[in-house]
Amino acid sequence: MIKTGLPEHPDQTFTMVAPAADAAPLSALPPPPLWTVTADADATRAVSEPPTARATAGAAATDTGAAYRLLRQIGRGAMGEVWEAEQTSLGRLIAVKRLRRENGPHATPDALRIADFRSESEIAASLEHPNILPVYDLGRDASGALLLAMKRIHGTPWNEQLQRDFDAMPVDAFLAHHIPTLMTVTQAVAFAHSRDVIHRDLKPSQVLVGAFGEVLLTDWGLALRMKAPQSGERRGGFAHAPTPDTATNPAGTPSMMAPEQTEDHGGNLGPWTDVYLLGGILYYLLTGSYPHASDSSEAAFAEARTGRVQPPGARTPGRLVPPELEQLCLKAMEPAKADRLPSASAFLKGLEDYQRGTLRKEQSAELVARVAQRFTAGEPDYAGYTAAIASLDEARRLWPDNEAISPLRQRALHDSARLALRQGDLSFARLQCEAMADGEQASTLRGEIAQRQRQVDRRRSQLRLATAAVFALLVVLAAGGLVFSQRMNAANKAIAQHARETEQALKIAKTRSNGAFELVTFVLDDLKKAMDAELTPEHGVTTEERNYLSDAIAGKVASPIVAYFEKADPATWPTDMQVQRTTQITAVAHRLRTMGRYGEAEALLKPAVALRATLPDPHAEDAGQLLNELAVTYQETGRYDQAIPVTRKLIDYETARSGADAPEVGELLHNLGSIYWRLGKLDEAEKLVRRAVANFRAHPEYELRDRLPRTLSTLGAIINEEGRTSEAETVLREALKIAERDLGPDNIALGSILNNLAVVLKKEKQFDESNKLLQRAIKIVAAKLGPENPAIAALSLNVGVNYRDAGRDAEAEPWLRRSVEIRRKKMAGSRVAADSMHELGRLYYDTRRYKAAEPLLRKSLDIYTESLGAGHYKVGMTAYDLGLLMQARHRPASARPLLQRAVDVLRKHDPDDPFVGKAQRALDAANGRLGRAAAKPGPAAVTAPD
C-alpha cells in the first residue's frame, strides 16, 4: 500500500510526493503583476510579520500594481496561509492567501508548489457562482511570492458548527438546520462539474458559513480540469490546470477519500469522485464522524481503498437515522463508480426529495390535527365524514407512517357507517365497515348491518337486490371521486370526465345481466389508464401513491361485486365474455389479496377457476394466472393443504405449455417443495426442490441467475431439517459461492442463503460464526432495502436467538427488541410479529422482568390463536409460558386455564412431547397438588418479585 506522503492526521488534506514540476507550462504564462504590500505595525507585533513585508511598511506605492495592507493572519493550511488585509484603493477588508515559506522567510517555493497555487487561483477565479468563494486578483509581492486576493467572509467553518450542534440539537432539528447547507454546497459542486472542474477534497471544513447565512465552498487546491485543453486553448482561464491524466494521485483527505483517489494514477477520477465525497459529508451529518474515521492516516487510507463504509445507522445505533437519507448516502458512496449516483444533480434531487418528505410530514400532522379538531366540535354529517376521510387519506399519502392517522380514520369510518345505518343507507354503511380495520367495533357493526340487510331482503325480490348492488356502486364512485378530487388536484378534470362516462355506462349496464361486471372492468381498467396518464411524477405523484389510489378504488367497488357474482349466472353469457370475465377476476382478486382481503379474493377465484376449466384452451396463459392467484391466496393464508392440489395442477398446466424442464416449471416445483417443507413433509419437499435445481441448472441464462442459488438455499435448509447437517452445509456453501460469483457479494439474494447457512452453523453450536453470517445478511438487506425492512426483523430475531442459545441474554436483548420494533411497525398482527414478541417475552421472563414480559406473551398468544388456529403447537407453548408467568406473579387463578390449555394442545399435538409433562406438573402446582418450586423448571424462581 502506498504510504509515502500521508498526513499526520486522517482528516488533513494531502497529495503524494511527485517529481519536480516542469517549468515549461509556467513559462508560458505571463508573470502576475507586482503588488505593493504593507503591514500594519501594531498587528505585526502580534503575528510576527516576515521581514520582507515589514521592510515595505510605510513605503509609497511606486508600482502600478494594487496596494494591500496585511492586518492579521486568520488561517493556515498545508500549502498556504491566509491573511486579513485592507485593499487601500477601496478601503475594504479582503483576504489574501500566499504560499507558505517552509525554509525561512526569504526561501522561494519550489516550481511544483507555485504551479499548484497558480492552478488553484485560476480555477477558483473561473468559477463565478454565488456559493463559491470569489477571487479578485492574482499578484506577487516584492520578493516574488504569489498572492491571491479573495473575498473576506466573517463566519465559521461548517465543521465547527456541526461539531457544536450534533449532540446539542435533536436529530430532526439538526438535519433541518444543516441539510440546506449541504444542498447549497451540492449546487456549487454541480456548477463546477458543468464547467468540467472537480473539487477532489470536499469536506465540511472546506465550507464557510457566514454570519448572515452565506455558504461558500473554498479551497480548490486539488481541483482538476476534466478535459485536456486543445491546442492554443485558453478556455475558462485554467488552460494549464492539471487533468486526471496529469494530476498527482493519491490525493485528498484519507478519512473522506473515494477509492479512486487512493490509486497511483488519476485516470479514474471524475465527477463521480465528488459525488462520493458529497455522500461522505452527508455521512458526517448522520453520524458525527467521517466515513473512514480512524486513529491513523494509514488505517483510514486502507479503508478508503475499499470504498466500503459501515451504514450510518449501524455506526450510530442509538441515533435515529432517516432511512431515505441513509439510502441516499450509501448510494452516493458505492465503491464502484458505475454503481454510484450518476451526478451531483442526482444527489441534490435526493436531498430535495428528503426535504419535501419532511415538509410532507408537517403537512400530514396538520391535516390530522384539523380532523381531530373537527371531531371535537361535534358529529359531522355525510360531507363532513367524507372530507375527514379524504383529509386523512391525504395525510397518509404525505406521511405513510403517521401513527395518528389509523385511529382517527377508524373512528371516521365507524361513525359515518353508523350514521348511514341510522338513515337506512346500508350500501354506504357496508362500504365504510369494509374499509375499517378488523376488530370488535367492525365485527359488531357488520353484525348490525347484516341484521338490517336480512330485514330488507325479506321485502325485496332477487331482481331488485341485484339492481341495488349496481346502484350502490354509484355511491362508491361518488365518494371515490370526492377523495380523488381532494387528494390529487392534478387529476381532477380527467377523473371527473371518467366519472361522467361511468354514469353513462351504468345506464347501459342496467339493461344487461353482466352490468356490474362491466362496471368493475371499467373502474379497474379505464380508470387505471386515466390515472396512469394524469397521476405522474411530473404532477408530484409517485408510482406507489398511484397504486395506493388504484387499490383504494378497487377495494371500494369489490365488495358489492363479490355479492353480485354470487347471485349471477355466468353460464348464460357468451363464451368470449366468460373468458374475459375470468381474466378480469384475476385482476380484481389480485388487488383484494394484496390488500389482505383473502376471503373476498377466494370467493371470486374458486368459481372462476372452475368456469375457466370448461372454456376453450384451458392451458392458455390467462388460465395459469388464475390458478396461480388462487394458489398464492391459499399459501399466504397458511392453507397449504388446499394450496397443494392447485399448485400441482398449475405444474401440469405449465409442463404442458412450456415443457418439463422449463424454468417456469422449476419455479413452481420450488414453491410446492416449500409448501411441503412448511408442512413438515421433508422427503417430498426434498424431491421437488431437487427437481427444481435440475431445471435451473439446465437453464443458466443471465436473467435466471438468481434462481439456482435461491433454490439450492431452500434445498440446504430442508436437508438440514432432516438432520443431515454436513450435507446441508455443503449445499448452502455452494449456493453462497454461486450467488457471490453470479450476483456479487452484496446482492440482496445472499440474505436468505446466509441466514440458512447460519442456521446450520447454529445447529453445530458455532454461534459466533452463525452470527457473523447473519450480521452480514443484515448489512446487505439494510443497504438495499432500508434498515426497517421486514427481513431485518427476521434476521435480527435469529441473531438474538443465537445469543440466547449461547447463554448471552444481555447481548440477545437489543437484537430481539429491534426485531419486535420493526415488526410492530411494519407487520403488526402477523404471525411473524408474534414470533419476535414471544421470544422477547421469554427473555424478559427468564430475567425476572415479569411486567414487561406479560403484554408480549399475551399479544403473541392472541395472534397465534387467530392466525394459526386454537390447536396449533405454538399456541400451546405460548399458553404454557404465559401460565408459568402468571404463577410467578402469584396469580394461580389466571395461570390454571392457560396451563390447562397448554396441556390439551400439546398432548393433542404429540402425547410424548416432554412439554406435556412439564405443563401438567405446572398445572398441578397451580391447583395446589405440588409445591410451587416444581412448576418452574427454568432459572427464575416463581416467587421472585416483579
Q: What is the mean predicted confidence (pLDDT) over 275-302? A: 94
Q: Among 332, 304, 75, which Cα is nearest to 182's? A: 332
- Residue 35 φ/ψ region, left for φ over 0, alpha for ψ in the -120 to 50 degree band, beta for the rest: beta
Q: How far apart are CA 668 and CA 685, in angstroms?
A: 12
In this structure, what is the dihedral angle of CA atoms 936, 938, 944, 946, given to the nearest 10 degrees? -110
Higher pLDDT, 79 or 851: 851
Q: 532: pLDDT confidence band, cut at 50, 70 and 90? A: low
Alpha-carbon distances of 681 from 276, 725, 869, rounded to whole Å: 51, 18, 20
Query: Pairing state of beta strands 36-39 and 14-15?
Result: unpaired
Helix 707-721 × helix 750-763 angle, to 10° = 20
Q: Is-contact 363 401, C-beta < 8 A? A: no
Q: What is the mean predicted confidence (pLDDT) over 481-500? A: 42
Alpha-carbon distances of 353 from 111, 271, 398, 547, 586, rounded to whole Å: 47, 22, 12, 19, 36
At 610, which amino acid appears? A
Q: How far apart are CA 785 and CA 777, in angstroms?
A: 12
pLDDT for residue 731:
92
What is the distance, to the nearest Å, from the Cα of residue 735 to the centroid of all Cα atoms in its chain? 27
Residue 523 is classified by DSSP as I
Q: What is the mean predicted confidence (pLDDT) over 106-121? A: 67
Reduced to 3 states (helix: H, G, I; strand: E, B; else coil), residue 893 is helix
Query: Pairing state of beta strands 36-39 and 67-76?
Result: parallel
Peptide bond into 250 cis (omega under 30): yes
Q: Among 178, 183, 214, 217, which Cα is nearest to 200's? A: 217
pLDDT for residue 560:
47
CB burial readout 388-411, b (16+ within 10 A) else e: bbbbbbbbbbbbeebebbeebbbb
Residue with cell 396518464: 533
Reduced to 3 states (helix: H, G, I; strand: E, B; else coil), residue 216 is strand
Range with the largest mean pLDDT of 26-35, 258-267, 477-486, 698-707? 258-267
Q: What is the mean predicted confidence (pLDDT) over 734-738? A: 91
Q: Is-contact 787 326, C-beta < 8 A? A: yes
Range with the largest mean pLDDT of 238-242, 326-330, 885-889, 935-939? 326-330
176-185, 387-396, 594-603, 930-939: which range is least confident on average?
930-939
Which residues make beta-bridge pairs with 36?
Answer: 67
Q: 186: pLDDT confidence band, cut at 50, 70 and 90? A: very high
Q: How far apart are CA 523 and CA 519, in angstroms?
A: 6
Residue with cell 376449466: 613
What radius of gyration, in Å, describes the C-alpha atoms of the chain? 36
301-315, 769-783, 822-836: which range is least confident on average?
822-836
C-alpha cell at 637: 393464508
DSSP assignments along 490-517, one per residue: GGHHHHHHHHHHHHHHHHHHTTSTTHHH
Average pLDDT over all residues of the chain: 76
Residue 400 is classified by DSSP as T
Q: What is the mean predicted confidence (pLDDT) over 832-852? A: 90
Query: Pairing state of beta strands 80-87 and 135-140?
Result: unpaired
Q: How far apart are CA 557 and CA 520, in angstroms?
A: 7
pLDDT for residue 4:
45
Q: What is the mean predicted confidence (pLDDT) over 170-193? A: 92
Residue 385 CB contacts under 8 Å (≥ 6 apart), including other chains? 412, 415, 416, 419
pLDDT digits (tens, 9 = 90+) for 36-86: 676 653 333 323 333 343 333 333 333 445 688 888 888 776 667 888 888
Q: Among 15, 21, 9, 78, which Cα is nearest to 262's? A: 15
Q: What count of residues does the chain have?
A: 946
In this structure, what is the dihedral angle of CA atoms 927, 933, 934, 936, given to the nearest 10 degrees? 100
Q: How far apart are CA 336 and CA 758, in angstroms?
A: 28
155-159, 470-474, 813-817: which range is least confident on average?
470-474
Q: How many other β-carbons are positioned within 10 Å of the β-carbon of residue 572? A: 9
Residue with cell 502576475: 32
Q: Is-contact 554 524, C-beta < 8 A? A: yes
